[in-house]
Amino acid sequence: MENVVYEKKDLYYPVMSDILSVETLTAMEKRFQIAMPENQPLNHKPGQFVEVSLFGFGEAPISICSSPTRSPNFELTVRATGRLTDKMHMLEAGSRLGIRGPFGHGFDVDVFKGKDVLFVAGGIGLAPLKSLIDYTLDKREDFNKVKIIYGTKNPAEILFPKAIEEWRQKDDVEFDMTVDRADKSWKGNVGVITTIIPPLQLDVENTVVAVCGPPVMYRFVLMALKAKRIPDDNIYISLERRMKCGVGKCGHCQINDVYVCQDGPVFHYPHVKSLEEAI
């Protein structure tokens, strides 16, 4: 250990950051706009995540839901589902929280450039995908057709109604969505997300797909995409694990021999196929 060739890093200290605004999206989800000290940009890639730190409550990995094209501030969409996220929902604009990151391997945007892009989002999976959707829309000329499909349990859980309305209005975006269970007001599709995949008109060889949703969704979406003859090579998926440290040490997010916090959360589907524990 005498020949020190590495630079030792303090990996576990958060950067205290300001919450600029909090927006209630649904009964379960809120969106937080966050500024790093002195409005430093986070310098993230679409698909990456941060560790949110609240003293007394610990840390939790949260996907960044805004595009780096809209920096310096960034956004997190958080579902209240545990001690830390419940506490986070009680915070208001002006509060501070700790941020570590960005971590992980995001979407490689160069792969998507010049191609038709299809986004497949299930439930809260729309939040991580939104970082890439917004990136795509902000640099619209770099991409060919853009299609977004989104499935949610019921109309009350629709995450970004304003953004969705904008996507519907745009001539250069195709948007479709479905709910598992309708209520009286709902006039759209009813059924799981795989039911709106067959009608898609796709130039399959030239379409790159980004998928994110709950664990149960992947197998069925991937089957439906296969039935559309989309090559596996054109599919990228974002996986959820409990990334505790974010720096490839703690072991919690390991899928076979990969650490999701290092090699993911965004994976090329052919790689995921070789990982037995992935989906």
Binding site for another protein (CB under 8 A): 1, 6-14, 16, 55-59, 79, 81-82, 85, 96, 98, 214-215, 240-242, 244-245, 247-252, 254-257, 262, 276-277
Contact call for residues 189 and 155 (beta carbons, < 8 A): no
Residues 6 or more apart in contact with residue 176 via CB below 8 angstroms: 147, 148, 149, 150, 189, 196
Q: Residue 267 forms beta bridges with which residues?
A: 237
If the CB atoms of residues 16 and 223 are measured against another protein, the closer one turns out to be 16
Q: How far apart are CA 37 and CA 15, in angstroms?
A: 8
CB 180 to another protein: min, Å: 16
If the CB atoms of residues 85 and 152 are measured against another protein, the closer one turns out to be 85
Residues 6 or more apart in contact with residue 178 via CB below 8 angstroms: 149, 150, 151, 152, 188, 189, 190, 191, 192, 193, 195, 196
Q: Residue 263 forms beta bridges with which residues?
A: none
Q: How far apart are CA 201 and CA 9, in angstroms?
A: 49
If the CB atoms of residues 141 and 257 are measured against another protein, the closer one turns out to be 257
CB 231 to another protein: min, Å: 26
CB 218 to another protein: min, Å: 12
Tokens of 80: 């209240």
Q: Are strands 49-54 and 96-103 parallel, antiparallel or unpaired?
A: antiparallel
If the CB atoms of residues 143 and 218 are measured against another protein, the closer one turns out to be 218
If the CB atoms of residues 58 and 231 are measured against another protein, the closer one turns out to be 58
Residues 6 or more apart in contact with residue 9 via CB below 8 angstroms: none
If the CB atoms of residues 195 and 254 are measured against another protein, the closer one turns out to be 254
CB 265 to another protein: min, Å: 11
If DSSP states are collapsed to H, E and C, what string results for 134-200?
HHHHHCHHHCCCEEEEEEECCHHHCCCHHHHHHHHHCCCEEEEEEECCCCCCCCCEECCHHHHCCCC
If the CB atoms of residues 32 and 167 are measured against another protein, the closer one turns out to be 32
